[in-house]
Amino acid sequence: MSENNPLLRRVYALDGDKEETRRVYAEWAEQYDRDTLDGMGYVAPGLVAKELSGLVAKDAKVLDAGCGTGLAGVELKKLGFTNIDGIDLSGEMLEVAREKEAYDKLAEADMTVPLEIADDSYDAVISVGVFTSGHVKPKALDELARVTRKGGQIVVTVHEKVWEADGYPDYLEDMEKRGLVSIRAVKEAPYHRKEGYSCQICVLEVL
């Protein structure tokens, strides 16, 4: 699929240039759900929603960081979650998310800089498909921990391509040493079933 889809080739070639990231997702927004769900067999949003539902109450205040078109919000809503906010770099992706009516608040935000969100604002934070090549690096996990209340839960996917390459195992261990989180689980899981990619689903409790 990626070989035949010029947008996907551009997504895989992203190198952290925010303007190019914004441009690619602005162009992809309308087609994103079809390409990922049908085209690639993207299962990560459903898996993360299911993981979170085993950890927190359905009325938990949840932030979906890098929510894109809202695939994870829809999965959370199906499971009974009622209090979900979303942030994303791309206004166009957020517009598609808004149509799904799964979120309370949606806002543009860059996860690579300090978020304009107060400490301890959320009971849980999820991030699906964002810790991947050319998007967001492990350092962004610090901000997710900061905006989650003590005892709250973080569930994120890390794409297999960057798990070792971007140093996630060491970074998570370092977060534990700094007393930010406790690592509850790191599980290998399918990501894009049709493309054969996997990810690590990381479950962190904020300390």
Positions touching ligand SAM (CB under 6 A) are: 21, 25, 44-45, 66-68, 71-72, 88-90, 93, 110-112, 128-130, 135-136
Is residue 117 classed as helix, strand or coil in its secondary structure?
A: coil
Closer Cβ to ligand SAM, 106 or 175, answer by number: 106
Report, in Å, the least distance between residue 166 CB and ligand SAM: 14
Local structure of 170: helix, strand or coil: helix
Residue nearest to ligand SAM (CB): 68
In the complex with ligand SAM, the residue whose CB is nearer, 54 or 114, is 114
Residue 106 contacts by C-beta under 8 Å, 6 or more apart in sequence?
A: 67, 85, 86, 87, 88, 94, 97, 98
What's the min distance (Å) between Cβ of 34 and ligand SAM? 12
Reading phi first (left if > 0) and then psi (alpha if -120 to 50, else beta), residue 79 is in alpha
Q: How far is the CB of 136 from ligand SAM (least distance, A)?
A: 5
Least spacing, CB of residue 86 vs ligand SAM, in Å? 9
CA atoms of 61 and 81, how far apart (whole Å): 9
The two structure tokens encoding residue 137: 């690096």
Smaller CB separation from ligand SAM, 150 or 194: 194
